[in-house]
Structure 1
């Protein structure tokens, strides 16, 4: 009778897989003995397997370059890393080994880029695509980057006022892009993305604000949909609408030569995961070429901004099952020595699935369980009701430690979970005031905590300090004064 956990996996999935295999009764990840890590370093722990970042970057480059060669596509391909997926210095440094470019989403990203330039990881030839809604500090930082000679910094115009704010501070000519406010998937709560400018308004915006502005050169049209790149009617429909806008804009603006199709390649979230990346890339390039050839306009250079695809599959987390609680006839709760809410917040916030496997005891009998975190919050769990498949693990035994791993967790979890004080997209936590009244009833206000600074966040993220942080602190003092 096949009752071992290894039998269950072997009967359910194609196993072993490229990154997962077993040695005796323990799991290895890219050949790394995970139980040894858990025993040596203790749990809970997180890890980042840096070579996977370079591997995925070069996979995507190969897909696009092959498609362009096969289709005789005359444009070029540029891979950008979406920094908001993970801002850590070790992530950026690994990614930048592969001749790539960067996409930013907030003010402090620019300080990171300046730090990387000082260290030699970024040059003025590196494209910096500046997305997002731009507040004063973000505008100031983009202005500084351009005025210091970073000619390949391309602000993507997100609203009608940004162009005037940029031209006020930038000394020389500069390039810009325009982001399309794509329509959201029908089941989404809102009809249109809050980001960008509407399809029908893009050509008029160019005619009114850019065409006769000698300081500004429109180079890029930016397209992104929230659900990412998928082989479904919604994605292809939105891409076709984008191409119609590109063609109309190209005919009105000869300097336009680049199409940014954003990101959204899926990452592996199950041992049964299937996605034909190469086919999707070929069809995207093919549809762009067909549309441009039919309209008799030159094909654009293609940019992508892959974040989760770049870094997601490099990350993992290992926990130990502390105890099993039999709550009723049906529910066995395996309590882990951490919290899903704090260490894997997407499992709680958006019901995201990750690959979950035991690290050891693959030759033991298995049982169906629920997984619970240590907090007192009722939502701190990971189970078959929140996720499509039931959870099976080797049977709990007090005298035999059981380690479990969650894999492909490398994107967003640290910033959303607040690692060391991080915030999503490096938006700083706001100033916090304490309000109270004295004996006469007069309001008393004191500052409990100042707003986070760029220097503090760069320190958390592991960037070199000394002169760079001192310089940032001096800038912040100037702004404050």
Structure 2
């Protein structure tokens, strides 16, 4: 009878997979010995496997460049990283090894760009695409960047007033893009994105505010939908509407030469995950080319903005099961030594699922459980996997520690969780580990930040240090 946890995984999923395998009944992730990581640093811990960032950038650039070559597409491809997904220096340093560009969304993002310029990580040739609703400090920071010679800084106009605000502070002619306010999926509570300018209003807006303005040059049309790039009728319909706007705009604006198809690729959230990236890229390039050729306009240069796809699959979190509570005849609660609300806030805020697996004890019998966090909040739990509607783990045994891992957690969780700040119920932020691999394949680890202490939190709260 197949009662072991390893039996369950093998009969439920195709396993092992590219990034996961077993070694002596313990899980490895990209050949990282996770139990050795726990033994060295303890749990809970969060980690970032830096080489995965470069790997995913290389994959995307290969798909686009191959499609451009295949279709004889007359335009180039530019990969932008959305800093909002993870602002950490080690993430940007790794990403920028790969000849990419930057997308910002707030004033302080531009301060990061300035730091990166000082260290030579980016140059004036690096595209800095400035998205978001812009006021005050964001406008000033963009203007400072352009005034100091960053010729490829392109603010994306989000509303009717931004050109006037930018022109008040920018001292020389500058480039802009315009963001389309796309229509949201039918299940959304509203019809049109709050960001950008409506489809029908873009050409009139250009004619009124840009066409006769000698200081402003329109270079880019920006298209973004919240669900990302997916093979759905909704996505293809919105892309087609975007292309019609591009064509209409191009016919009256000869300087327009770039299309930014923002909205990222999905990342692996289950061992059942399937997505044909190569097909999607090929079809996007093909659709853009055919539509432009039919309208007799030049095909645009392509920009993408990938945040989660860049950094999401590099991250992971490891917890220890502290205790099991039998709450009724059916529900067993395995209590982790941290909090989902604070360390994986998307599991609480938007019911997001991540790849979750036991780290050790794969040769033990399994049981169905619920996972609970340490806070006194009823919503601090994780109750099902993406494809099984349940969680199964090796049976809890008080004398045999059990560790579990959540994978592909590298996007947004630290910033949404308030890294370095107050945490719900004052549950401390776990230690953070950086993992790298040298050219010979040797893996190295280093501690990026310690687990928060009571002194860290009391200081934030304004309590005087002990005398």
Counterpart Cα distance in 1 of 2:326 and 2:17: 34
Match of 2:63 in 1: 63
8 Å CA contact 2:353, 2:386 repeated in 1: no
116 and 335 in structure 1: CA distance in 2 versus 1, 3 angstrom threshold? same
Match of 2:171 in 1: 171
8 Å CA contact 1:176, 1:217 repeated in 2: yes
1:78 alignment partner, SS class? strand
Give the C-alpha shift of residue 40 in structure 1: 1.4
Q: After superposition, give the CA deviation of every residue in 1:168-214 in whole Å (9 maximum; x if it has no partner).
A: 11111110000000000001011000000000000000000000001
Runs of 4+ more than 3 Å apart? 385-388
Match of 1:241 in 2: 241
Counterpart Cα distance in 1 of 2:293 and 2:139: 37
Q: Structure 1 length as normaliser, TM-score?
A: 0.87
Counterpart Cα distance in 2 of 1:412 and 1:190: 24
Give the C-alpha shift of residue 114 in structure 1: 0.3
Counterpart Cα distance in 1 of 2:385 and 2:230: 25
Give the C-alpha shift of residue 264 in structure 1: 1.9
385 and 113 in structure 1: CA distance in 2 versus 1, 3 angstrom threshold? closer
Give the C-alpha shift of residue 48 in structure 1: 0.1
Counterpart Cα distance in 1 of 2:67 and 2:172: 37
Counterpart Cα distance in 1 of 2:34 and 2:388: 26
Match of 1:473 in 2: none
CA RMSD of aligned residues (A): 1.4
8 Å CA contact 2:272, 2:387 repeated in 1: no
Counterpart Cα distance in 2 of 1:387 and 1:59: 26
Note the 1:6-155 alignment, pairs <5 A: 6-155=6-155
2:175 alignment partner, SS class? strand
Note the 1:324-473 alignment, pairs <5 A: 324-384=324-384, 389-421=389-421
Counterpart Cα distance in 2 of 1:65 and 1:387: 34
Counterpart Cα distance in 1 of 2:382 and 2:397: 20
1:419 alignment partner, SS class? coil
Counterpart Cα distance in 1 of 2:264 and 2:172: 34
Give the C-alpha shift of residue 389 in structure 1: 2.2
Match of 2:2 in 1: 2
1:420 alignment partner, SS class? coil
422 and 411 in structure 1: CA distance in 2 versus 1, 3 angstrom threshold? farther
1:421 alignment partner, SS class? coil
8 Å CA contact 1:353, 1:387 repeated in 2: no
Match of 2:431 in 1: none
8 Å CA contact 1:313, 1:407 repeated in 2: yes
1:256 alignment partner, SS class? coil
Q: After superposition, give the CA deviation of every residue in 1:19-68 in whole Å (9 maximum; x if it has no partner).
A: 00000110000000001111211110000000000000000000000000
Counterpart Cα distance in 1 of 2:142 and 2:284: 31
236 and 248 in structure 1: CA distance in 2 versus 1, 3 angstrom threshold? same
422 and 64 in structure 1: CA distance in 2 versus 1, 3 angstrom threshold? farther
Q: Which runs of 5+ in 2 are unaligned?
A: 424-447, 450-467
Counterpart Cα distance in 2 of 1:399 and 1:251: 73
Give the C-alpha shift of residue 385 in structure 1: 9.1
2:224 alignment partner, SS class? coil
8 Å CA contact 1:415, 1:422 repeated in 2: no
Match of 1:295 in 2: 295
Aligned residue pairs: how many? Answer: 425
Counterpart Cα distance in 1 of 2:143 and 2:268: 38
Match of 1:467 in 2: none
Give the C-alpha shift of residue 298 in structure 1: 0.4
Give the C-alpha shift of residue 119 in structure 1: 0.5
55 and 422 in structure 1: CA distance in 2 versus 1, 3 angstrom threshold? farther
8 Å CA contact 1:416, 1:422 repeated in 2: no
Counterpart Cα distance in 1 of 2:209 and 2:346: 40
8 Å CA contact 2:371, 2:382 repeated in 1: yes
2:392 alignment partner, SS class? strand
1:154 alignment partner, SS class? strand
Counterpart Cα distance in 2 of 1:140 and 1:264: 28
Q: After superposition, give the CA deviation of every residue in 1:413-468 in whole Å (9 maximum; x if it has no partner).
A: 00000001399xxxxxxxxxxxxxxxxxxxxxxxxxxxxxxxxxxxxx99xxxxxx
Counterpart Cα distance in 2 of 1:112 and 1:67: 33
Counterpart Cα distance in 2 of 1:153 and 1:389: 46
1:53 alignment partner, SS class? helix
Tell which deviates more after alignment, 409-418 or 380-389. 380-389
8 Å CA contact 1:47, 1:316 repeated in 2: yes
8 Å CA contact 2:270, 2:386 repeated in 1: no
8 Å CA contact 2:64, 2:281 repeated in 1: yes
8 Å CA contact 1:78, 1:304 repeated in 2: yes
8 Å CA contact 2:25, 2:362 repeated in 1: yes
Give the C-alpha shift of residue 388 in structure 1: 5.7
